[in-house]
């Protein structure tokens, strides 16, 4: 046994899209402790977490396979609770499985946290020189301006497109056509899986970074798996 790695999902922990990817990449010697920021919430409680105008939205998946759009600030106290529960269960390494930028939140002492946004964005930096051409695929059209602006501020020539990871692969394929002249493409949501990566590569022919795979590989390295 190489130990336990905690994974905090911004949706519900019983969802079937992220953890199968993680477990495959980690291998049989690592135990996964999963927590969902939306675990245990009723439909009415989920509705109250919807973003208000001006807030950056997060799209995420529930245990029943449906998806919801929630507010980042509303997620923060629930993420903190998940981290505390992992620390109390003697987990030493955890990964926040979201590529979004969150308001400041507390990380319990003794818990090393890998933040999805920093891991994925720095992965793009490592794969593409400043001034290079980056394609950014996000779930929602209202996420394009923020994500595109962020990567432009990092010094990249950016093209964005959107396709919901919980929708049709045909939508992903159509969106990826915008990336044919890019140096590298990043699937900027933890909900995109290997099928999405395959479709994007087929459509644009460019190197493609899959966010949840990057996180799983780094978590395994940090945990000594």
CATH number, domain containing residue 137: 3.40.50.1860
| pLDDT for the residue numbered 1 | 32
Q: Identify the domain containing residue 148 by its residue range.
A: 118-210
Low-confidence ranges of the chain (pLDDT < 50): 1-2
- Do 21 and 95 belong to one domain? yes
- Do 36 and 136 belong to one domain? no
| pLDDT for the residue numbered 46 | 96
Check residue 52 and give left, alpha or beta (phi > 0: left; psi -120 to 50: alpha): beta
- Do 192 and 217 belong to one domain? no
Q: Report how far Cα 177 is from the mean position of its chain's Cα atoms.
A: 22
- Do 156 and 173 belong to one domain? yes
- Do 26 and 103 belong to one domain? yes
- Do 96 and 195 belong to one domain? no
- Do 31 and 127 belong to one domain? no
- Do 130 and 187 belong to one domain? yes
Coarse DSSP helix, strand, coil percentages of the chain, rounded to the nearest 5 percent: 40, 25, 35
Residues 69-114 have pLDDT tens digits of 999 999 999 999 999 999 999 999 999 999 988 989 999 999 999 9
Q: Integer distance in angstroms from the first to the last C-alpha of the chain?
A: 9
- Do 181 and 102 belong to one domain? no
Give the CATH number for residue 41.
Answer: 3.40.50
Number of domains forming the structure of the chain: 2
- Do 93 and 140 belong to one domain? no
- The whole-angstrom separation of Cα 109 and Cα 113 is 10
- Do 19 and 79 belong to one domain? yes
* Single pTM value for the model: 0.90
- Do 132 and 200 belong to one domain? yes
Segments in the chain forming alpha helices (H): 19-26, 43-47, 72-88, 116-127, 144-153, 169-176, 194-204, 211-223
């Amino acid at each position: 046994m190489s130990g336990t790695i905690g994974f905090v999902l911004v949706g519900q922990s019983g969802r079937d899209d992220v953890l199968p990817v993680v477990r495959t990449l980690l291998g049989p010697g690592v135990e996964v402790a999963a927590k969902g920021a939306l675990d245990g919430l009723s439909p009415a409680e989920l509705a109250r977490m919807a973003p208000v105008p001006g807030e950056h939205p997060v799209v995420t998946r529930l245990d029943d396979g449906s998806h919801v759009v929630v507010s980042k600030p509303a997620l923060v106290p629930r993420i903190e609770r998940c981290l505390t529960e992992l620390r109390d269960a003697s987990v030493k390494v955890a990964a926040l499985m979201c590529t979004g930028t969150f308001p400041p939140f507390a990380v319990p002492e003794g818990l090393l946290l890998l933040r999805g946004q920093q891991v994925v964005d720095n992965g793009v930096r490592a794969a593409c020189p400043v001034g290079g051409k980056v394609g950014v695929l996000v779930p929602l059209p209202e996420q394009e301006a923020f994500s595109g602006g962020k990567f432009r501020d990092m010094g990249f020539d950016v093209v964005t497109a959107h396709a919901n990871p919980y929708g049709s692969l045909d939508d992903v394929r159509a969106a990826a056509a915008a990336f044919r002249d890019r140096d590298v493409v990043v699937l900027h949501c933890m909900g995109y899986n290997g099928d999405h990566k395959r479709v994007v590569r087929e459509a644009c022919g460019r190197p493609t970074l899959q966010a949840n795979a990057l996180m799983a590989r780094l978590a395994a390295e940090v945990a000594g798996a």
